[in-house]
Each structure stands twice: as C-alpha cells, then as structure tokens.
Chain A
Amino acid sequence: MAVIAVTGKGGTGKTVISALLIDHFSTDRKVLAVDADPDSNLPEAVGIKDYSTLGEIRELFQQNRDSMGTISKEQWLEGKIYGEAVNESKHFDLIVMGKPEGEGCYCFVNNLLRSVLRKLMKNYDVVVVDCEAGLEQFSRKTVENADYILIVTDTSKKGLATAKRIIDSTEELKLNFKNIYLVGNKVNSNGEGNAIKQFAEKEGIIFLGNIPYSEKILELDFRGEPITKLLEDTELNNHFREIFKGIGGINDH
C-alpha cells in the first residue's frame, strides 16, 4: 500500500489532480480516495453524489456512546465506517473526512478512527489523499503517514510560497515520506513553466510536468460534472499519463 498526499495552495487544482490520479491508478489497481479537505469537492469531481462522511459518523458516535452498554465501541465505529463511510464506485472507494470536530474531547474517538482506517487502508494498493493546503493533518489527524507528497502549484507567487512552506514543514513534521513531487497547473507559457521547473530543481524535489491552462476544466467544474470527463480528450489523456508516469515508486505497488 502506498499513500500519496496531494497538497498545495487552495485554488491551484489539487482536487482536479487528485481526481485524475484516482482515475489513473484505478485502471489496474485497488484505489482508496480520501477527501481530507473540508472545503474540497472531490466526490463531485470523481462523480460520486450521495455519500456519508467520517465527520458525521464521529458525531453520531459522540451522541450515542453513553448508551452503548458493554458493546465494543471500536467494532461499532468500524461497522459504521465500512458500512456507510466507504462509498463504493465501480473502480475505487471513497472516504470523505467531512466536517472538523465540534466541541468536547475527541481523543478517544480519533484514536479508534486511526485504528480502523489503518486496517481499511491495507485493502488498497494506492491511497490518494486530497489534503488541505498543508500537511499538518498528517501529524495529528486520522491518516497517519504519506509515502509520497505531490504538491500542486499554479504560476502565482503565493502558489510557490505555499509549496515552499509545505516542503519546509515536512522536516518538522517528521513525515516518513519517500519523495516529494511538484506539478505546475494552469500554466500559460513556456516561461511560466520553466520557472516552476527551476523552483523544483532549487528545492531538490522531483518535477513531474506542467498542465496547461484549460477552459475545459473550468467548464466541467461549472457544470458540476466529473473531472474525469476531461480524459475523453485523447491528447490531454496522454499528457496526464506522461506526467503521472513520473511517480516512480507508486508504479511498483
């Protein structure tokens, strides 16, 4: 099992890239998609409409735990997660983290969640996590570690600044990752593309490629249609495949 965390500044296209990665890997591998960004819309991007979230189940647990008698709370949670929070689509499964915690103590329930997710993740070859703009969640949240970190940036100064911050934070957070990758998105010109490439070289991370600015993505987004429709365009499809091929390690899983 390999965990790949997709991160970067908000609005750079993390969710688009995550959706394309999920599609890419699920042609021949078992994939678990994890939407870990409360502001994202990964389910819509991969074409899943009705879904339950882990946050909802966590709240249900908090409300019901006093009346659970002698039953096992971990088994209760596992049953809810396996039965309701794992949204099955044809080629992959999806988990949505949902709303962050409310008031009160979540130490116990989060500890149980971590243990259930650890078991669940073993079922898959690849776990793609669509993250918030940063990796802090790995140190304290329910998904414990990432093997690969894929940073998405656009051509803006802010996009690259966030990328830099993320690279710096990997040291502090002691994430046991194998590689950091960079993908440029919404790139208009060769000059912009080169700047992103040079940034990657300077930071010592692996540059996967640039994705040109695309009206099609905006259009699909606008209509709320799955991003994967993008791949009906053969030329684009080949371009993405070429980019994702660079994620070396994962292809061994």
Chain B
Amino acid sequence: MVERAKVKIPKRAKKKESKDEQEFPFDISPMYEGERVRKGDMFVELGGPKQTGFELIINLPARNVQDMKSTLVGDDLDGLEEGKSYPYAMIYYIAGSQLDNDIEPVVERRNHDFQNFIEGYMHLNQRYDIWVRINKDAMKKGLKSLNQIAQATMMLFKNEMPFIEKIEALYITDGDLVKKLLDEYAMPVYEERDARVETLHDEDVDEFYSCTLCQSFAPANVCVISPDRPSLCGAITWFDGRAASKVDPEGPNKAIPKGELIDPIGGEYTGIDEFARNESGGGVDKVKLHSFFDYPHTSCGCFEVIGFYMPEVDGIGFLHRGYPNPAPNGLTFSTMAGQTGGGKQIAGFLGVGISYFRSKKFIQADGGWRRVVWMPSELKERIEKYITDGVKDKIATEKEVSVIEELKDFLKAKNHPVVTGVVREVDGEKITDGWVEEKEVEEIKEEVPATQPEAKVTEMPVAPIPQISMIPQSGGIKLVIKNASIHIEKIIVKRKDEK
C-alpha cells in the first residue's frame, strides 16, 4: 500500500492561500455540464495535450486536513498569458470516518462533474490526462484566482458527498513541481488502484451490479457483474457498474446486494438467485457465476467468446467472435451463438467476455483452465499470461488440430488433465474420471467393420459425459444424462396419436 501523506511544498515556492470562500463570480449549476469552451473563446488552457497535468484525491486522517483551505503554488490567473497552455495539478486531501483508500477513485471521478458545474470552466478527462479550458467571459465576469475554482469545487464535494467530512485543496501551476509530483506522488497511487482491479475479488465486496443494456437484443438476459466476472460483452467491469449505479441507481446498472454465499466454488449467492428469478420472470432459478455446467450465467447476444463442451474429450473449447472457421466440433461461432444467445441458460455452452479469462475464478467449479482443451491461436496469444501454470502448452489451437480426432491425439500426447482426470485447482477435488477405454467398441467394430475403415475404433477412448441438459427452445422435455455411454443403432421418434 502506497503511503498517503501531504505534499511537501518547497519553501521558496510562490504560494497563495484561501479559506472558506462563499461568494463566487460565476454561476454553479448542473446545466453547465458538458459546456464546451471553443479555442477562440478560451482565456487559457491548463493541462491538456500540450502540458503536464493531473488530479488526485488522497485520503488522510482528519487531523491532517485543514477543512476548506486551498493553496495555489505557482502563477495565478493574472500571471498567465491569454491563449497559452500551462501545467496544472489539482490535489484534494479528504477525511471522514467512513472513508478508506478504496473510495479515492470514486471521489476523484466526481471532480470532473463538479468542475463542469462551474460556468465558463471546461474540465475533460481524468488522472494524468486532465484538460481544462477557462472561458474569456469568465474572466470578464470577475474570475480572478484558481483558488476560487478550488473553493467552489470543495463546496460541491462536501454538499454532494456528505461522507467527506473535511477537504483541503492544493492546486499547482508550477511546471517542475507538477512533473515531479506526477511521477513520484500520483503515479504510484494510480498504479496501486489499477493493481486493485486484479486483486479485488467477489468476497471483498457486498454488492454486485446488473446490466440490462443489451436487453433490446436479448430481452431475457441480465448480466451479473462481479469483481471476478466482468460483463459478457467485455465492456463493463465491477468498477464501471459501481460508478454507473451511483450516478443513476435506477438505470441499466443496478446494485445487487449479494446476500448469503450458497456455493463458494460455483459462486452462488442468495442475492443473485433472487435477482435472476425476478428479472427473468421465473425462467431462471439459479445462477452460479463461475460454473460452466451447473446453472451457468445466461448468455446475451453480445458475448465476445463462446465456450463449448466437447463430450468426446470431456473438455471445453473457447471460440471468439470474428474467428471465421469451425471449431473442432464442426461448429462456427455464429452457429453456436445462435443456439445460446438471447438470455438462455444452456449447460454445455457459455458466453463470456475476454476479460473473464483474467479472472482467478475462471470457471473454477468445472476445473478452470485445466478443463480447457482448445482455442484459436489469436485468442490464446491475447490471454496467454492468464493461463494457469502447466496447462498453456496443453491447450491446442487451430494450428495443431482441426477435428476432434486430431484433438484427441494432441491431448493424449500432451497428457492434458482431461485425459487422466481433472483435479480442481480451487479445492483439490478430482471432478472427472478421465478418459475410459471402452471395451464394447470392439464388438461394434466386428459388426460394422467396412463402413468406417479409416476410423481407428479400437483406440478410441470414450469419455464419460458428466452432465448434459438439453433444453429445446420450445420447451417440453429435459434430458439429463449422467456418466453414461450410449450405443444406439436406430432411433424412431413418432408423434403420439390422439384418439
């Protein structure tokens, strides 16, 4: 954890302070949100493409924060030349009994909103990309100091986010100091926050978020977005969901209190089950976030990658949108997506976002990476570094195999976990038996030797099929087959005569 402390202002720096200002020479209102200051109307530009700039929220103990005080280091507006660009840093120290360092990015995002409430002041971007323009009209109306901007912004922070009990601002236009602080003070904090994305897990939070943005395409689908499971389209992380639900609690991203943990390995929570039942109108009873076979997450029409079970090898393949050729099972992305999409829960197929491959809980209930047997090389290269140790070289791509037979040989040669049985990483449980050499096949060989001369039937291992549910679109029958090997010569299906 990067230590949080106040900036040490160099002794000889040009400094200006202000405290508790109430009157401002500009309007403050949400109606100015999105206000654009055109180049021709601009007095000065701060930060932006030409100059260094950043904004940062630092959470400190209350005794270290002087409430509603602002300090400007460097030239103020009267020392800046019209039409030019200058370096700019905005640092806020906040304190409050409910605050911790995790709240910093949530508060920091709001600097953008609040500063845009200020008439004649355009704020764009975030972190080290900030870009501010001040309108000439604002100067005419009496804007004199950046301290006035700091004071107004702090006032908005305290009004809109009451959990901020104390706030203090430090603005800097001194180029050398801005650069030094960006490198030494701000960057370590930003990096720490980004690392948090990787280390934050489902168990660390109380709420997940729903997403119904794509319901115009998949009316029955509801994405559940958790720290370990981003949306299927790959666009929305738990952090995005949290930010969106804070801005618009009734919008497409709603908070789902996760409730009690029912299945820690599959990722089932009472809150999600209840939510899924309500949103699907009863169509979906349960959802397990990190399961492939047992009550998997529903699939919308937007998913980036489709996972598919191949019973012949008892393994799972993944195929991304944009890969034009069929997978080893003979099916293309669009064929499989057509079967799965639209908010259905289909065991054996699962839509996921590419960023789900990064997840530490990636289909952990069904063996995680140890169950993965095939993916296109393009996809594999993209996510290579997230693959569990020891499995990477055992996952085939289109470069090595193109049909199931070749896949079998490949997996056998590499001694892939599915061949001998998958031991689940998360709890060490052996969840599959591995391939069982089938004795009956020899009899079949004798019966029909001529029809398939090229198939090496005797060597063909037949995998036990763990559990496949086939739910036809129209509804009616549900077929659950467990640990079965079936040989059928002929099937006749007849409509029952109604008398």
Question: How many Å from the CB of A135 to the closest CB on chain B?
Answer: 18
CA distance A238 to B202 in the complex (A): 68
Chain B, Cβ-Cβ closest to A121: B34
Q: Which A residues lie within 8 Å of B233 (CB)?
A: 104-105, 107-108
Residue A130 CB within 8 A of the other chain: no
CA distance A82 to B48 in the complex (A): 12
Question: How many Å from the CB of B379 to the closest CB on chain A?
Answer: 13
> CB distance A88 to B39 under 8 Å?
yes
Within 8 A of B (CB), among A67-107: 69-73, 75-76, 78-79, 82-83, 86, 88, 90, 93, 103-105, 107
Given A66-B234, A107-B214, 14 new contacts (CB under 8 A): A65-B234, A66-B354, A69-B239, A70-B193, A76-B125, A76-B126, A83-B131, A104-B304, A105-B234, A116-B34, A119-B33, A120-B34, A122-B35, A123-B34
Query: A residues within 8 Å of B by Cβ?
Result: 65-66, 69-73, 75-76, 78-79, 82-83, 86, 88, 90, 93, 103-105, 107-109, 111, 116, 118-120, 122-123
> CB distance A122 to B34 under 8 Å?
yes
Digitize B106-146: 1 where CB-to-A-CB distance is under 8 Å, 0 elsewhere: 00010010000000001011110101000000000000000
CA distance A107 to B234 in the complex (A): 11
Within 8 A of A (CB), among B282-329: 301-304, 321-322
Q: Which A residues lie within 8 Å of B213 (CB)?
A: 107-108, 111
A75-B126, A104-B304, A111-B213 in contact; A123/B36 too (CB < 8 A)? Answer: yes
Residue contacts A-B, CB under 8 angstroms, 23 given: A65-B234, A65-B235, A66-B354, A70-B194, A70-B196, A71-B126, A72-B109, A72-B112, A73-B235, A75-B125, A82-B124, A83-B49, A83-B124, A88-B40, A104-B321, A105-B302, A108-B231, A108-B235, A111-B252, A119-B33, A119-B34, A120-B36, A122-B35
Question: How many Å from the CB of B280 to the closest CB on chain A?
Answer: 19
Q: Which A residues lie within 8 Å of B216 (CB)?
A: 107
Chain A, Cβ-Cβ closest to B354: A66
Contact of B243 among A66, A72, A116, A119 (CB under 8 A): A72
Q: Which A residues lie within 8 Å of B49 (CB)?
A: 83
CA distance A67 to B105 in the complex (A): 16
Q: Which A residues lie within 8 Å of B354 (CB)?
A: 66
Within 8 A of A (CB), among B204-256: 213-214, 216-217, 231, 233-236, 239-240, 243, 252
Q: Which A residues lie within 8 Å of B109 (CB)?
A: 72, 75
CA distance A207 to B350 in the complex (A): 56
Q: Which B residues lie within 8 Å of A107 (CB)?
A: 213-214, 216-217, 233, 235, 302
Question: How many Å from the CB of A113 to the closest CB on chain B?
Answer: 12
Residue B457 CB within 8 A of the other chain: no
Q: Which B residues lie within 8 Å of A116 (CB)?
A: 34
CA distance A79 to B49 in the complex (A): 11
> CB distance A88 to B38 under 8 Å?
yes
Q: Which A residues lie within 8 Å of B122 (CB)?
A: 82
> CB distance A75 to B235 under 8 Å?
no
Question: How many Å from the CB of B103 to the closest CB on chain A?
Answer: 12
Interface size class of B (residues with CB under 8 A): 35 or more
Q: Which A residues lie within 8 Å of B455 (CB)?
A: none
Chain B, Cβ-Cβ closest to A91: B40
> CB distance A79 to B129 under 8 Å?
yes
> CB distance A105 to B112 under 8 Å?
no
A79-B129, A83-B131 in contact; A123/B112 too (CB < 8 A)? Answer: no
Q: Which B residues lie within 8 Å of A105 (CB)?
A: 214, 233-235, 301-304
> CB distance B35 to A79 under 8 Å?
no
A79-B124, A108-B213, A123-B36 in contact; A70/B197 too (CB < 8 A)? Answer: yes
> CB distance A93 to B38 under 8 Å?
yes
Q: Which B residues lie within 8 Å of A70 (CB)?
A: 105, 193-194, 196-197, 239
Question: How many Å from the CB of A157 to the closest CB on chain B?
Answer: 36
CA distance A37 to B24 in the complex (A): 45
A65-B234, A69-B194, A122-B34 in contact; A78/B124 too (CB < 8 A)? Answer: yes
Residue B355 CB within 8 A of the other chain: yes
Chain A, Cβ-Cβ closest to B251: A111
CA distance A111 to B194 in the complex (A): 24
Digitize B133-171: 1 where CB-to-A-CB distance is under 8 Å, 0 elsewhere: 000000000000000000000000000000000000000
> CB distance A108 to B34 under 8 Å?
no
Q: Which A residues lie within 8 Å of B240 (CB)?
A: 73
Q: Which B residues lie within 8 Å of A108 (CB)?
A: 213, 231, 233, 235-236
Give the 3 A-B CB pairs with smallest separation, nearest first. A119-B34, A105-B302, A69-B194
